[in-house]
Amino acid sequence: MNVQDIYAEVGKRYSAAAGGVEARYADSVAKAFGYTKEELSDIPQDANLGLSCGNPLAIATLREGETVIDLGSGAGFDVFLAARKVGESGRVIGVDMNEDMLKKAEALKASWGQKNVEFVQSQITRIALEDGIADCIISNCVVNLVPEEEKQLAFNEMFRLLKPGGRVAISDILAKGPLPDAIKKSMALYVGCIAGASEVGMYQKYLKEAGFNGIVIQDSGNDLKVYHDEGLTTCSSDPAEQDKGCRVTKGDAVNVQDIDFNEWTASYKIFAVKD
């Protein structure tokens, strides 16, 4: 898989996701990864597309008046939650490369009327925002989607955008060890946040080389079986399209359903500080 193909397929997968999912599915995934009923009822319902692999806000310790950047913000799920926490004196910027996601996020922002939220269209490896503007950077199950050749660029951008003393709070899928070729070469598993997962040691290396200190990477203990249980498979029931990667009804992608995500990967909490 080359870089251009990965970005193209990730774009297709998340454009499809922007079209919406069943509320039951989205709520089940969010609750499985630590979001409360109160949090889910405090934001526009359609912002939750069931794309989480954790809850970065649980470790971000956001405060009134802070500036927060969400990398890979999608329809604004974590952006809208963060906006509540930083208040009217704070600012939350969602960054996403997908035009369909941004259109959805902007529509939800308009209907919600939250004035401390904005969205920027960009890949997370090079963002047109000034240096040192953020107190905290969050991200939820997105860094694993960046091609391996460009992952270091994403961490370098995080460091550049943070103020001195700023922090990153990330939820992501990481590999427990080397992934077999059958997984690494599956585009369905790549856009499903599995095949592009870095090992813990590599994640530490990316953070250190970017300049971060106080690095903590901890297995959250969440059960990735929720993706199977709720039918996370492919974009189409057509066998010819089954390796394109999206979510449809359970059982449409036998090969993906046969993979035990918990055997090879886990949901991790990542925290680090820019001194």
Q: Which of 105-109, 229-233, 260-264 has the lowest mean pLDDT?
A: 229-233
CA distance 197 to 270: 14
Backbone angles phi, psi at 219, to 5 degrees: -65, 125
Can you give the pLDDT at residue 193?
95
Got the DSSP string for the chain? Answer: --HHHHHHHHHHHHHHHHT---HHHHHHHHHHTT--HHHHTTS-GGG--S--SS-THHHH---TT-EEEEET-TTSHHHHHHHHHH-TTSEEEEEES-HHHHHHHHHHHHHHT-TTEEEEE--TTS--S-TT-EEEEEEES-GGGS-GGGHHHHHHHHHHHEEEEEEEEEEEEEESSPPPHHHHT-HHHHHTTSTTPPBHHHHHHHHHHHT-EEEEEEE----THHHHHTT---S-SSGGGTTS----STTS-HHHHT--HHHHEEEEEEEEE--
pLDDT band at 230 (very low <50, low <70, confident <90, very high): low
pLDDT band at 228 (very low <50, low <70, confident <90, very high): confident
On average, the pLDDT of the chain sits at 91
Reply yes or no on whether the pLDDT at 241 is more than 60.
no
Q: Which of 13-17, 52-56, 115-119, 236-240 has the lowest mean pLDDT?
A: 236-240
Q: What is the arithmetic mean of pLDDT over 78-90?
A: 98
Reply yes or no on whether the pLDDT at 247 is more than 50.
no
Q: Classify domain 3-273 by CATH number.
A: 3.40.50.150
Q: What is the arithmetic mean of pLDDT over 101-120?
A: 96
Can you give the pLDDT at residue 255?
61
C-alpha dist (Å) from residue 185 to 15, 189, 221, 264: 22, 8, 26, 14
- Domains of the chain, residue spans: 3-273
Q: What is the arithmetic mean of pLDDT over 169-195?
A: 95
Can you give the pLDDT at residue 45?
86
pLDDT band at 231 (very low <50, low <70, confident <90, very high): low
Residue with tokens 């961490």, as numbered in its chain = 155
